[in-house]
Amino acid sequence: MRDIEISKRMVAKTPEQWFLRIMQEGYNFSPKMSESLLAETELCFQGNKKTKIGQQKVILVKRKEKHGRPIKEVEKEEILWTINAGLEDEQYLCEYGKTELRQKRIQRLLQEATEQNGIATQEDLARVLHVSVRTIKRDFSVMRQAGIELVTRGYDEGIGRGQTHKSEIIRRWMSGESYDQLVRSTGHSSSSIQRYIQKFMQVVEISKQGFEADDIGRLAQIGRGIVDQYLLIYEKAKKEPATEKWIENQRKRIFYPVQRKRALKKGVL
């Protein structure tokens, strides 16, 4: 009995209970109305995405929104940004330095924004990274000169919505860049790059079995847009015999390792 009383007192001390009491006693709202208002308030201020250490929720303009309308009138999207990726960022800092770590974070934040249907500005980046807009502009200049695609509001329409970092990573991988080179040049983690490549090869494998794009997306658990991009990359690659042969070898290595080992023992490959 005493434990129950203690629990009730603890509940009464929570911010939620304090809010409900204010709504009911101060504004004469019914208990049900107060609870509904509490739920809406929590959603507004806390959002519906759970944050981890190093992450931050931000509100960005939806990617589909055009220019010309006042910012307060355009649709917004709640975005979960990874400001600090922990050990991954610490290792990158030790190896490449402070400036390159910031540039890596810029690329990661922009990618996370587009993946969550948002679009960031250079001002958004400057605010969460605690640097000046001038610093962000300087980083952008360096990265774009290196051929890195940076999708921001104001630049999004010019590069075409069909292009993604994932497709660019696949192209660079097929051209011979190693994982370490891709990590440094794109700002994506090694595990993310490996996942993109595995999905690309999965699309290739499923398409060779005769499935259509919609079925490929369902089986590979990726969006139709990414499927179309990967298939386009594959179709272009097939026009170059050396690249097609390389992809075929990768496909056999990934999906048919047992058969490949047997062939090696027999001296076939």
pLDDT of 18: 80
Q: Is a pLDDT exceeding 70 seen at residue 156?
A: no
Torsion of CA 214, 215, 218, 221, to 10 degrees: -90
The reported pLDDT for the residue numbered 109 is: 93
Mean of all residue pLDDT scores within the chain: 80
The reported pLDDT for the residue numbered 105 is 94
> Which pLDDT score, from 0 to 100, does residue 82 have?
92
State pTM to two decimals.
0.54
The reported pLDDT for the residue numbered 43 is 67
Is pLDDT above 70 for 217?
Answer: yes
Q: What is the pLDDT of residue 6?
A: 45
| CA dihedral over 60, 66, 71, 72, signed as positive or negative | negative
Residue 154: Cβ within 10 Å count: 10
Q: How far apart are CA 91 and CA 128, in angstroms?
A: 21
User: Residue 233's closest CA among 190, 255, 201, 208?
Assistant: 201
Q: Is the pLDDT of residue 237 over 70?
A: yes
212, two tokens: 């259509």
Mean pLDDT across 235-263: 77
**Among candidate residues 108, 144, 142, 137, the one with its CA nearest the CA of residue 121:** 137
Range with lowest mean pLDDT among 52-56, 199-203, 264-268:
264-268
Q: Is residue 87 pLDDT above 80, yes or no?
A: no
Mean pLDDT, residues 98-104 = 93
DSSP labels, the chain:
-HHHHHHHHHHHTSHHHHHHHIIIIIH---HHHHHHHHHHHHHHHH-SS---TTEEEEEEEETTPPTTS-TTTS-EEEEEEES--THHHHHHHHHH-HHHHHHHHHHHHHHHHHHTTEE--HHHHHHHHTS-HHHHHHHHHHHHHTT-----TTTHHHH-TT--HHHHHHHHHHTT--HHHHHHHH---HHHHHHHHHHHHHHHHHHHTT--HHHHHHHHT--HHHHHHHHHHHHHHTTSHHHHHHHHHHHHHHH-HHHHHHHHHHT--
Has residue 203 got a pLDDT over 80?
yes
Q: What are the residues whose beta carbons fall under 8 Å from the beta carbon of 238, sequence distance 6 or more? A: 244
- How long is the chain? 269
For residue 10 the two structure tokens come to 């603890």
Res 60 pLDDT > 80: yes
Going by C-alpha positions, the residue among 79, 63, 61, 81 that lies closest to residue 71 is 61
pLDDT beyond 90 at 137? yes
Between 68 and 138, where is the model more confident?
138
- Give me the mean pLDDT over the 133-152 stretch: 88
pLDDT at 95: 84
Mean pLDDT calculated for residue range 70-99:
86
